[in-house]
């Protein structure tokens, strides 16, 4: 049995978990249910994604989100594409919250009377069962034919408090959704359109396994992997865009959501499929005074697109990787990066020129000695950008800050090390 909520008439009776979306500058206040807030897609992320989707040539019909949670992503797709939406949610209260949120967002956008709202519905039921949902909608609208599905969006729930998880732990499971819905998806110029919003923690092997599940149902369908980051060097979202939702000629895309809501997202695109390993390889080279060192956005490096982006901010320069992964991927190069645009600057944690190579162990007892070297180079502030014991790091940084604040240096600097090398590299920021 399924229950259908109409956003136009749904009430908020019994709903309690109300909170403003922080990425909408607090302007949109949304309901969640059954502790669904941590699962919800932030409004800004949802909008950025829907705008990218609006560049695709989708078939006619409804946007379907078959595990719609609080309905935020669904609402963004509907508003940007101006298409009616069908959301399915197993948890009945969350389905009601989702319907109410669609109404709230439409009101916020002055679109409550828009045509797409008239036909949008939320079903409380099993999102894996395409037959049951399609016949329920057909019956609800008193139509013979099942609704045409233009896009299938899927953001499955994952086990909480777990750093890693298997594909079979996703709820609903990808293979079950594919089997349940493949007969009901419309074809666009590149077949059906699907957007799978997956865990950013999927290993490379799991990503390949997802492709295998897709190929079992839609062999060789076009695909674009999209890594989304809101900064802090973390991948926030990893999604697979398929078929008519895939971006032509783009196998991988990195999307940096800007800190300011009003700015456009920064996009880096590349053509190598997942099967090509694009991970950079660290090569230890003797560091040189005068060379440049940059620490890149870790999420960009994880997407495999760092090399492509580097070509746009360097003049065919030879780049070598001092640290190839982790939180502070580090490159060495001869000339400054050309970071004229703020968007490019967001992709670099720090960049500068090596002014001193210091062979010493970094500990509280050596801070005085390090400060003397820093003053010789007119340095007023040194940020430690190397892997240190988490207890020691703030103590060392505090001791350096205190000592330098009493002296008269003028330049900002940072300190890095290369993988497996104790040498401290002092770089003046550029
Ligand atoms: C990660 S949340 C989706 C969040 C959503 N994208 C948003 O913007 O709010 C996943 C949802 O899938 C629901 N779910 C799990 N199994 C399901 C199933 N078989 N059918 C429908 N929904 C299901 C969970 O209750 C959960 O609310």
User: CA-CA distances (angstroms) from residue 346 to 151, 179, 258, 265, 398?
Assistant: 32, 41, 8, 11, 26
Ligand 1, from 68, 92, 100, 236: best to mutate by most atoms within 8 Å of Cβ?
68
- Element (H or E) spanning 151, and its range? strand 149-154
- Ligand 1 in contact with 127 (CB < 6 A)? yes
Please tell me if the CB atom of residue 41 comes closer than 6 angstroms to any atom of ligand 1: yes
CB-count burial class (<10 Å; 0-12, 13-18, 19+) for 85:
buried
Q: What is the pLDDT along the chain (430 residues), one digit of tens a residue?
A: 689 999 999 999 988 888 888 777 668 888 887 777 777 888 888 999 999 999 999 999 999 999 999 999 999 999 999 999 999 999 999 999 999 999 999 999 999 999 999 999 999 999 999 999 999 999 999 999 999 999 999 999 987 766 667 899 899 999 999 999 999 999 999 999 999 999 888 988 999 999 999 999 999 999 999 999 988 778 889 999 999 999 999 999 999 988 777 788 899 999 788 888 888 998 888 899 999 999 999 999 999 999 999 999 998 788 999 999 888 999 999 999 999 988 899 899 999 999 999 999 999 999 999 999 999 999 999 999 998 999 999 999 999 999 999 888 899 999 999 877 889 999 999 9
Alpha-helix residue ranges (DSSP H) falling in 65-160: 72-81, 92-108, 115-118, 130-140
Report whether CATH 3.30.70 matches the domain 292-429: no
155 Cα–ligand 1 center, Å: 7
3-state helix, strand, coil in the chain (%, to 5): 30, 25, 45
Residue 284 Cα to ligand 1 middle (Å): 46
Residue with CA closest to ligand 1 atom 13: 67
Residue pair 85/64 in contact (Cβ under 8 Å)? The answer is yes
Instruction: Kindly list the domain boundaries of the chain, sorted by start residue.
Output: 3-270, 292-429
126 lines ligand 1 (CB under 6 A): yes
Are the beta carbons of 81 and 115 closer than 8 angstroms?
no
**Ligand 1 centre distance from Cα of residue 343 (Å):** 33
In sequence order, the 6+-apart residues with CB closer than 8 A to the CB of 390 are none
Predicted confidence at residue 422, as pLDDT, reads 86
- In this prediction, residue 37 carries a pLDDT of 77
> What CATH number is given for 3-270 in this structure?
3.40.50.150
Contact 401, 381 (CB under 8 A): yes
Residue 126 Cα: closest atom of ligand 1: 20
Closest listed residue to residue 49, CA positions, set 222, 195, 192 = 195
Q: How does strand 330-333 pair with strand 292-296? A: antiparallel
CB distance 47 to ligand 1 below 6 Å: no
Q: Return the best residue to mutate from 85, 157, 173, 237 for the ligand 1 pocket (most ligand atoms within 8 A of CB).
A: 157
- For the beta sheet containing 85-89, the strands, ordered from the edge strand earlier in sequence to the opposite edge, are 3-5, 121-124, 85-89, 62-65, 149-154, 193-198, 237-243, 223-229, 252-256, 266-270
Q: Which residue's CA is minimally distant from atom 26 of ligand 1? A: 69
Ligand 1 contacts CB of residue 239 (under 6 A):
no
Rounded CA gap, 133 and 123, in Å?
Answer: 8
Whether the CB of 88 sits within 6 Å of ligand 1: yes
The verdict on the CB of residue 91 being under 6 Å from ligand 1 is yes
What confidence score (pLDDT) does residue 348 get?
Answer: 94
280 alpha-carbon distance from chain centroid: 20
Distance 68 CA to ligand 1 centre (A): 5
**pTM for the complete prediction?**
0.90
Residue 410 is predicted with a pLDDT of 92
Q: Determine the distance separating the centroid of ligand 1 and the alpha carbon of 154, expressed in angstroms.
A: 8
Tell me the best of 90, 122, 198 to mutate to test the pocket of ligand 1, counting ligand atoms within 8 Å of each CB and taking the most.
90
CB-ligand 1 contact for 399 (6 Å cutoff) = no
Q: Is 105 left (phi over 0), alpha (psi -120 to 50) or beta?
A: alpha
Evaluate whether 255 touches 264 at the Cβ level (below 8 Å). Answer: no
In the prediction, which pLDDT does 391 show? 94
């Amino acid at each position: 049995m399924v229950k259908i909520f109409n956003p136009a008439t749904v009430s908020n009776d019994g709903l309690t978990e109300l909170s403003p979306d922080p990425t909408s500058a607090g302007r949109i206040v949304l309901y969640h249910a059954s502790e669904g807030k941590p699962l919800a897609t932030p409004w800004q992320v949802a909008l950025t994604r829907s705008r990218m989707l609006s560049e695709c040539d989708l078939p006619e019909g409804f946007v379907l989100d078959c595990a719609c949670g609080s309905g935020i992503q669904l609402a963004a797709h509907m508003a940007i594409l101006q298409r009616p939406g069908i959301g399915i949610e197993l948890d009945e209260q969350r389905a009601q919250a989702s319907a109410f949120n669609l109404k709230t967002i439409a009101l916020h956008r002055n679109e409550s009377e828009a045509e797409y709202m008239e036909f949008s519905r939320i079903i409380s039921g099993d999102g894996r069962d395409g037959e049951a949902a399609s016949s329920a909608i057909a019956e609800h609208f008193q139509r013979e034919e099942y609704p045409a599905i233009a896009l299938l969006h899927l953001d499955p729930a994952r086990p909480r408090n777990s750093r890693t998880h298997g594909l079979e732990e996703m709820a609903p499971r990808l293979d079950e959704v594919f089997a349940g819905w493949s007969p009901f998806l419309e074809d666009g110029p590149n077949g059906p359109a699907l957007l799978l919003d997956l865990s950013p923690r999927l290993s490379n092997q799991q990503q390949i396994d997802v492709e295998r599940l897709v190929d079992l149902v839609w062999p060789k369908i076009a695909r674009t992997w999209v890594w989304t980051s809101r900064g802090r060097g973390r991948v926030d979202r990893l999604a697979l865009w398929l078929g008519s939702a895939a971006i032509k000629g783009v196998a991988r895309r990195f999307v940096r959501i800007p800190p300011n809501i009003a700015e456009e997202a920064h996009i880096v695109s590349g053509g190598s499929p997942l099967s090509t390993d694009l991970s950079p390889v660290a090569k230890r080279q003797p560091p040189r005074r005068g060379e440049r060192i940059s620490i890149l956005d870790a999420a960009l490096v994880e997407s495999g697109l760092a090399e492509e982006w580097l070509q746009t901010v360097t003049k065919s320069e030879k780049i070598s990787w001092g640290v190839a992964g982790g939180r502070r991927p580090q490159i060495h190069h001869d000339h400054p990066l050309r970071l004229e645009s703020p968007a490019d600057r967001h992709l670099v944690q720090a960049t500068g020129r090596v002014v001193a190579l210091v062979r010493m162990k970094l500990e509280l007892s050596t801070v005085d000695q390090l400060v003397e070297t820093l003053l010789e180079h007119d340095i007023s502030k040194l940020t430690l950008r190397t892997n240190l014991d988490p207890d020691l790091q703030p103590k060392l940084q505090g001791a350096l800050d205190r000592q330098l604040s009493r002296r008269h240096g003028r330049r900002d600097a940072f300190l890095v090390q290369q993988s497996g090398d104790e040498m401290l590299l002092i770089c003046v920021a550029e």
